[in-house]
Amino acid sequence: MIELIKGIVTGIVSFFTAGVITIAGVISPSPTPISMPPTPMPVTISTSTAEVSVQNEIGTNLPTITQSPAPITLLTARGQFSIRDKNVDIELSIPENGGKFTGSVKELCNGIIEGIYQKESNAITGTAKGSCIPKSVGLFHPDYDDNSYFRSSGEFSGEVSIAEKIIRVKFKGRVYPPYFNNGGYITVAERNLTLNIQ
């Protein structure tokens, strides 16, 4: 009888042990690894007005793209007018495709010129700032001699003809004697000028 009981107990234990293993295999399967997409390599793009370069994460320089600015062609225009038989020379340096320009005034008066050339309409405008010898422009004062200079300014407007290679402007020049109060001035030149484009 004792042997029979031991046999029954051993069978029950084996049954439950096998059942636990089977259930455990069902509800606790081995996890299947999930494939993740590869991590993208970071790319840094640095830009400037002249070039664009690309680098990868290990710092290797890739081919550089260089962008050269469009060349600017400057046109030189020269003209001249006189005050009391003395010459005033004007020179302008104008971008062929339009934009801001500079220039100079020399001889009887000295100064700088700044202006804008609008290619679409062929219009040109500018101003001049500088100084003139008072006696040379017909101003006489006992306190000022040939070594004295009076502040001067000018303004002009007109049109540019690339086909004719000329610039036609109307120019007005002023001198500001220091003995005039409140910025008073005298108009010393008012001319229609033609400048030749070189």
Q: What is the pLDDT of residues 4-16, one digit of tens each?
A: 555 555 555 454 4
The β-bridge partners of 175 are: 152, 186
What CATH number corresponds to the domain at position 91?
2.40.128
Please give the Cα distance from 139 to 133 (Å, whole number): 9
Give the amino acid at 116. I
Maximum mean pLDDT: which of 53-67, 148-162, 174-188: 148-162
pLDDT per residue over 120-148, tens digit each? Answer: 999 999 999 999 888 877 788 888 877 78
Structure tokens, 1: 């009888």
Residue pair 158/151 in contact (Cβ under 8 Å)? The answer is no
Percentage with pLDDT > 90 across the chain: 43
In a domain, 160, yes or no: yes
Output the pLDDT for position 24. 41
Do 193 and 96 sit in the same domain of this protein? yes
User: Domain range spanning residue 128?
Assistant: 74-197
In a domain, 111, yes or no: yes
Lowest mean pLDDT among 22-26, 108-112, 136-140: 22-26
Please give the Cα distance from 194 to 77 (Å, whole number): 9
pLDDT per residue over 53-106, tens digit each? Answer: 445 455 556 566 666 666 788 999 999 988 888 889 999 999 999 999 999 999
Structure tokens, 76: 């030189």
Output the pLDDT for position 131. 93
> Total domain count for the chain?
2
Do 116 and 161 sit in the same domain of this protein? yes
Output the pLDDT for position 94. 95
Do 102 and 48 sit in the same domain of this protein? no
In a domain, 49, yes or no: yes
Do 63 and 82 sit in the same domain of this protein? no
In a domain, 23, yes or no: no
Output the pLDDT for position 34. 54
Output the pLDDT for position 46. 45
Cβ-proximal residues to 4 (8 Å cutoff; 6+ apart), any chain: none
Long-range contacts of 70-78 (CB under 8 A, 24+ apart): 72/96, 72/97, 73/97, 75/197, 75/198, 76/197, 76/198, 77/167, 77/195, 77/196, 77/197, 77/198, 78/195, 78/196, 78/198
Q: Is the pLDDT of residue 178 over 80?
A: yes
